[in-house]
A and B are shown apart, each in its own frame.
Chain A
Amino acid sequence: MAASDRVEPVSPRLARSDRASGRLPWMLVLPALAGLAFLVLPLAGLLIRAPWPTLVRRLAEPQVLEALRLSLVCATVATAVCLLLGVPLAWLLARVDFPARRVVRALVTVPLVLPPVVGGVALLLVLGRRGLVGQWLEASFGVSLPFTTAGVIVAEAFVAMPFLVVSVEGALRAADQRFEEAAATLGASRWTAFRRVTLPLIMPGVVAGAVLCWARALGEFGATITFAGNFPGTTRTMPLAVYLALETEPEAAIVLSLVLLAVSVVILASLRDRWVSAA
């Protein structure tokens, strides 16, 4: 018995290909192909309908460059804000045992599933000129967030931060906490242990989270247009410009969309290795 066990194929890959030699069930294959076409065709359409001869000229137009620059700056600053606030928040959720931790974790992930427009409305109610905090901000510091570039950053950070928190918290939970204990026996305070041991260990998770967070911020539309409006040069980011151009100048919308698609593909490529190795 033991001898016959040993000659069986042990590789799951081998076992899978053995099973796949039977007939494929069309009930699964047909919808699968339809699903694939549904995902790929629109992107192909974008490439087919792109005004390739005039592409470079259109890309160099001032409004396009302006929107692109604004998008990159806002998404990057929003990601920095998310890192500054989100990594400590993830640490709190992963390492500190406090009452209602599960509730807090659920609250953190709400923006992940919340329609972005609702997020924008909520931000207006709190940070708007008549909002709970906004009123005080304006009275004390003369700062008003809605319909400013800072407002774009706030809206993007609100929507994108959960991506970072979830990713970093996962990395923290997967990291061996005994390294922190070893650091403690060597005289490291919890802050030193976090900075010099934990953070380097979870850096891949932080980077992955930051990239996802940045991509989400770059594509943000609903919360941005609701909270920050649509002013060229200050709050009109690429997604807003795409939406606007679609009504007046469809070809420009295609060009702008191509730029966003290119950015997404680059991000996907940079994350691919991580996702493959995590699987």
Chain B
Amino acid sequence: MNIEAVKSIYLFEMARTRRTLLQSVVSPVMSTSLYFIVFGAAIGARIQEIDGVSYGAFITPGLMMLTLLTQCIGNGSFGIYFPKFTGTIYEVLSSPISMVEIVLGYVGAAATKGLMIGTIILATASLFVDLSIAHPFVMLFFFVLTAITFSLFGFIIGIWAKDFEQLNLIPMLVVPPLVFLGGSFYSIDMLPPFWRAVSHFNPVLYLISGFRWSFFEISDVNPVASAAIILVFLTLCMSVLTWIFHTGYRLRN
């Protein structure tokens, strides 16, 4: 294992976060605070509790997931796309480093950033609403696994993307509807039966539901199903990456 190389890539990526602190950290915190002010304080005060949880608290796990998904996909894809775009990828490809180590460096950094921002949002949320976490280890399980899985997903997008349009396609057009319709701001019990059934095909519903269960012990779907979905998605991403490394798809062709 080339530990020095993994460390180099990881620290290099983390240094980018420091350089772009405003964009990387302050901006997601700012937008989440706005959500809390609008939905939590202004509108939330007029919305009744959901299963005994105040509306402001209810949306916290969903907002964390929204940010975590967006950030991890964004960081994971940009981290590998940018050297591809500038051409500096030649150096990574000609280094004595296996693809697994490349992933550890890039995806590790992307997941770390996502987790940092998620934590900051949790801290921000606790300023606005009363929060308690019923199952901290389950919460960490969903938090960390989602970060890793979606950073991997982002990494795949970064390898696949041929231009900035493709790079932004999934994070901008696919992720927001899945998150917003995945019960970030409501319980799917509030939906008419047809849309409730449709929602079950949205994988993000399972993530948000499981994550919310770890906070308040309330969920739209069985938390075990949530855990299974995230593990399936993680396996799927790893399989696709294994294929990519095996064939050199868009990297060594």
A and B bound? no
